[in-house]
Amino acid sequence: MSVDLVCAAPVFLDLTFTGVHELPGPGQERFAEALHRSPGGGAITAIGAARLGLSTALASPLGADGDGEFLRVQLRAEGIEVSERRAERTPVTVVIPLDGDRAMLTYDPRAPVDTEEIARLRPRAVACGLDQLGIVPDGALTYATVGDADATTFALRLPEAVAGARALLLNRDEASTLSGEYEPEAALQTLADRCPTVVVTLGADGAIAYVEGEPLRVGGEAVERVRDTTGAGDLFAAAWAWGDLRGLDPEARLRYAVLYASLSVTTATGADGAVTAERLIAEGTRRGLPDVAA
């Protein structure tokens, strides 16, 4: 038996403080209106993929502490297969949504993934960071995702293995750091020389891409209220993988991934922002996207 998608990025416990009107300075205290506890990091991509109907597994070991047990229960309830291995501590991120963006503070005692465990899952595809490209089994598609740490580590020197990835998925700031180009279009063109498919997300402005040499651009999808942008990129990656594994053409794939990320920012936490395939397709059809219900 195989799974559609293995997510290899570290899994965090996200503590999200909503209703904060300004960040405290040194010696100051501010109060939030609500506190949310949810799976974060690679778990957001896994939750999105599972809700879109892909069979999904997480390769990162969860903590042997109470936070890890909380995450284990939450993820199994989503139908996600989790590793039986245990890490000593659970990574934690404090998230403060503010003014259409968010500030984050993270503790990450990273534990390595087990490459043999991934191979036993026989994945159709693996979503992983730039520092994890070597863990993908032969024959599986690689969706390479980028975070702040990856962008800093690999600035101006992408690993050679990215040339074999199915797609490189990143936002405009990460693309600029990796390429040395300020403008997203120039960054995209530079990165496309290293990977056959590169997608650069532009937030509310949509996304641009080169897919096997074909340039694409789609505009953003309007939403009523931006509440929390956490996990939008993770869910974009989930929807891109969903569209690719379903065989959607590149433009439809890009439009649905942009829509999925856009819908996610209307609620607190990345995990809660992941809608189902039925909701995504219905919303896409209402907005004039291709009908992919079949």
Q: What is the pLDDT of residues 148-189, one digit of tens each?
A: 999 999 999 999 999 999 999 999 999 999 999 999 999 999
The amino acid occupying position 248 is: L
Taking 3-state DSSP, the helix, strand and coil percentages for the chain, each rounded to the nearest 5, stand at 35, 25, 40
Antiparallel, parallel or unpaired: β 207-211 and 214-218: antiparallel
What pLDDT shows up at residue 114? 93
The secondary structure element, H or E, covering residue 167 is: strand 167-171
Question: 180 by DSSP, 3-state: which?
Answer: coil
CA distance 276 to 55: 14
Q: Which CATH superfamily is domain 5-286 in?
A: Ribokinase (3.40.1190.20)
Antiparallel, parallel or unpaired: β 62-63 and 86-87: parallel
Q: What is the pLDDT of residues 208-223, one digit of tens each?
A: 999 988 999 999 999 9
For residues 143 and 237, is the Cβ–Cβ distance under 8 A?
Answer: yes
The secondary structure element, H or E, covering residue 215 is: strand 214-218
Phi, psi of 242, rounded to the nearest 5 degrees: -60, -50
Domain extents in the chain: 5-286
CA distance 56 to 243: 15
The amino acid occupying position 157 is: R
For residues 239 and 280, is the Cβ–Cβ distance under 8 A?
Answer: yes
What pLDDT shows up at residue 294? 64
CA distance 137 to 123: 8
CA distances from 20 to 30, 97, 290 (A): 7, 7, 39
Sign of CA dihedral 82, 62, 85, 108: positive
What pLDDT shows up at residue 43? 98
Antiparallel, parallel or unpaired: β 101-107 and 34-41: unpaired
CA distance 202 to 216: 13
For residues 284 and 256, is the Cβ–Cβ distance under 8 A?
Answer: yes
What pLDDT shows up at residue 14? 98
Spans of the chain below 70 pLDDT: 294
- Residue whose token pair is 């929390």: 228
What pLDDT shows up at residue 113? 95
